[in-house]
């Protein structure tokens, strides 16, 4: 009897252990429920698939931690409440505050955001603040300044968060659900400035065509971001695995590579869409078309032939690049301005070269033009004009090719940046020489031409890769300008000093 009771006790104990293990096993096999709210580049739909900076980082961290995450669409404030109540397991991109540290189980920071103050153009100088503490002091001293914020967001400064939560005058702080709303309110004069994540708001500003009407104040708020786990559904052991995964993926550069994959295309697309870059593109197009038209003139081509040669010089490299990368519509077809510039440049060259005939009979003016023409020919100014225009077109096109490689996320960037930069920069000039050369192509034999594009596309690519995901828009602009100037100076120096490229024999 005693033996039977002992056996029953053992069976009961085993059953209890089994029952106790079932919830743990179920918890371990359970897919974590994470919420997402639309906001490019952090979280957004692309071709029907959810992706983004936060989404891909969290997926990588979860894989490293041995967990699976499912993302469900949910508003930001609704998500925070759901995680706190245990209806959802995790929220992404959460700044730490004392209240949130008590409400959620926060992971180690896995990335950082840079927030800025956006104001109407010409008004940013009125805000003398370089950090959130100084901004909070400015807002208290300026009771008329109306501030826009994102509803439910924390800006990683107790004083600034306290001011936003309880402004001294009702209506001084206006929350919004997205940056686009704040941009519209700013342009309508309903607010004087608003806080936003720098990259996301730059995208919205570009989409709304507001770049000429707004500017950033000289202030940065760098905010470490965490994963916020539900204390009710996520055990401490799982949080520990996530922290270990974050540390490992930070050390081996995985998180930086993910960040670069999403930041670079946006940074470079913003650069390409900017007004100063349009000026650079126009300059490059006119310079390349001028080089092609002058080449046609030197070779005695017809006016139609000049159009062909100018078009090839200005556009062929970009067309080759777009065909290679499957980039449609082709760049030259996206904006009719560039074809108009090519046409206008050729017609200008034609008009200038025929000025003598047009002014025939006006003896004094004709004599003066003849004297100038002779002087220019003696100094080979027309040749130097051709070379300078060609060098400027080479530089602008090289930079454009590199930016498009980064903007399209071409991988590996160290290869495709220089390749697309060289094709875009030198391709048109080489094809021009093929058409007019009669078997002689100096830019492929004795001229230091394509090599210039290779050197400076490598330099620009190397700089952008070295800066990594931390690179900001205002760092890209001087880098691009330096690369263009470098191309022009190198090409002109090669012509002046007759540099010869390396040869096989």
Over residues 353-399, the pLDDT tens digits come to 776 556 555 555 555 555 555 554 544 656 777 788 888 888 888 98
Choice between 209 and 249, residue whose per-residue pLDDT is larger = 249
Number of domains in the chain: 3
Q: Which of 209, 239, 261 is the last residue of a domain?
A: 261
CATH number at residue 42: 3.40.190.10
pTM assigned to the model: 0.68
Res 380: pLDDT: 60
| Rounded Cα distance, 422 and 406, in Å | 14
Q: Which of 163, 197, 223 is the last residue of a domain?
A: 223
Residue 505 lies in a domain: no
Averaged pLDDT for residues 121-137: 90
Residue 207 lies in a domain: yes
Averaged pLDDT for residues 157-185: 92
Going by C-beta distance under 8 Å and a sequence separation of 6 or more, which residues neighbour residue 450? 422, 425, 426, 430, 443, 444
Shared-domain flag, residues 332 and 420: yes
Structure confidence by residue, pLDDT tens digits, 407-432 = 777 778 888 888 888 888 888 878 87
Residue 480 lies in a domain: yes
Shared-domain flag, residues 315 and 207: no
Residue 205's H or E segment, with its range, is helix 198-207
| Rounded Cα distance, 259 and 363, in Å | 68
Among the ranges given (25-29, 32-36, 247-251), the one the predictor scored with the smallest mean pLDDT: 25-29
Res 293: pLDDT: 86
Shared-domain flag, residues 198 and 303: no
Res 336: pLDDT: 82
Shared-domain flag, residues 294 and 419: yes
> Residues 268, 269, 271, 274: what is their CA dihedral angle, to the nearest 10 degrees?
180
pLDDT reading at 25 higher than 60: no
- What is the average pLDDT value for the chain, to the nearest integer? 83
Residue 66 lies in a domain: yes
Res 270: pLDDT: 67
Shared-domain flag, residues 230 and 189: no
Of the CA atoms within 13 Å of residue 374, those in its CB half-sphere come to: 6
Shared-domain flag, residues 306 and 330: yes
Q: Which of 247, 190, 193 is nearest to 218 (CA)?
A: 193
pLDDT confidence bin for 438, thresholds 50/70/90? low
Residue 459 lies in a domain: yes
Residue 257 lies in a domain: yes
Six-digit token pair at 394?
Answer: 């080479």
Shared-domain flag, residues 287 and 153: no
Six-digit token pair at 30?
Answer: 């359970």
Shared-domain flag, residues 281 and 351: yes
Shared-domain flag, residues 280 and 424: yes
Helices (H), 145-197: 158-165, 179-187
**In 194-220, which positions are buried (b, 16+ CB within 10 angstroms) versus exposed (e)?**
bbbbbbbbbbbbeeeebeeebbbbebe
Domain span at residue 101 reads: 30-110+225-261
Shared-domain flag, residues 102 and 118: no
Residue 85 lies in a domain: yes
Please give the C-alpha separations between residue 472 and each of 187, 210, 345, in angstroms, as whole numbers. Answer: 25, 19, 36
Judge contact between 387 and 495, C-beta under 8 A.
yes
Residue 386 lies in a domain: yes
Q: Which of 79, 78, 82 is nearest to 54 (CA)?
A: 79
Q: Which of 482, 490, 492 is nearest to 280 (CA)?
A: 482
pLDDT reading at 449 higher than 60: yes
| Rounded Cα distance, 354 and 366, in Å | 12
**In 252-278, which positions are buried (b, 16+ CB within 10 angstroms) versus exposed (e)?**
eebbbebbbbbbbbbbbbbbbebeebe
Shared-domain flag, residues 296 and 278: yes
Shared-domain flag, residues 236 and 218: no
Res 17: pLDDT: 42
């Amino acid at each position: 009897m005693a033996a039977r009771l002992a056996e029953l006790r053992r069976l009961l104990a085993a059953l209890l252990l089994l029952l106790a293990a079932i919830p743990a096993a179920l918890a371990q096999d359970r897919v974590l429920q994470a919420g997402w709210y639309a906001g490019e580049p952090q979280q957004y739909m692309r071709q029907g698939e959810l992706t983004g900076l936060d989404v891909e980082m969290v997926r990588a961290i979860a894989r490293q931690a041995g967990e699976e995450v499912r993302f469900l669409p949910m508003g930001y404030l609704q998500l925070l409440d759901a995680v706190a109540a245990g209806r959802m397991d995790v929220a992404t991109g959460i700044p730490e505050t004392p209240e949130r540290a008590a409400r959620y189980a926060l992971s180690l920071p896995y990335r950082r955001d840079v927030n800025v103050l956006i104001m109407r153009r010409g008004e940013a100088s009125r805000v003398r603040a370089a950090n959130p503490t100084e901004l909070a002091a400015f807002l208290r001293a300026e009771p008329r300044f109306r501030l826009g914020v994102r509803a439910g967001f924390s800006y990683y400064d107790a004083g600034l968060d306290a001011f936003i939560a309880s402004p001294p005058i009702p209506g001084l702080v206006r929350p919004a659900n997205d940056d686009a709303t704040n941009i519209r309110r700013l342009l309508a004069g309903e607010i004087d400035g608003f806080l936003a994540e720098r990259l996301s708001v730059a995208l919205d500003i570009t989409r709304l065509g507001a770049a000429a009407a707004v500017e950033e104040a000289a202030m940065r708020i760098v905010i470490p971001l965490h994963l916020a786990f539900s204390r009710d559904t996520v055990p401490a052991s799982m949080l520990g695995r996530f922290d270990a995964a974050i540390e490992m993926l930070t050390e081996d550069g995985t998180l930086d590579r993910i960040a670069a994959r999403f930041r670079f295309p946006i940074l470079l697309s913003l650069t390409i869409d900017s007004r100063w870059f349009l000026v650079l593109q126009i300059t490059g197009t006119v310079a390349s078309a001028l080089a092609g038209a002058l080449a046609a003139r030197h070779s005695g081509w017809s006016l139609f032939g000049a159009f062909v040669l100018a078009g090839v010089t200005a556009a062929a490299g970009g067309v080759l690049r777009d065909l290679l990368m499957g980039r449609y519509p082709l760049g030259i077809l996206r904006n009719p301005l560039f074809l108009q510039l090519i046409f206008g440049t050729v017609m200008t060259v034609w008009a200038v070269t025929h000025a003598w005939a047009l002014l025939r009979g006006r003896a004094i003016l004709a004599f003066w033009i003849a004297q100038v023409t002779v002087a220019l020919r003696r100094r080979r100014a027309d040749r130097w004009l051709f070379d300078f225009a060609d060098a400027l077109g080479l530089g602008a096109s090289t930079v454009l090719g590199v930016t498009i490689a980064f903007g399209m996320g071409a991988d590996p960037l160290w290869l495709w940046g220089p390749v697309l930069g060289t094709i875009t920069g030198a391709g048109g000039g080489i094809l021009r020489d093929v058409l007019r050369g009669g078997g002689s192509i100096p830019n492929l034999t004795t001229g230091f031409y394509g090599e210039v594009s290779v050197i400076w596309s490598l330099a620009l690519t190397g700089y952008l890769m070295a800066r990594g995901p931390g690179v900001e828009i205002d760092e890209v602009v001087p880098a691009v300008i330096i690369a263009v100037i470098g191309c022009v100076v190198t090409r002109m120096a090669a012509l002046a000093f007759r540099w010869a490229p390396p040869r096989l024999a």
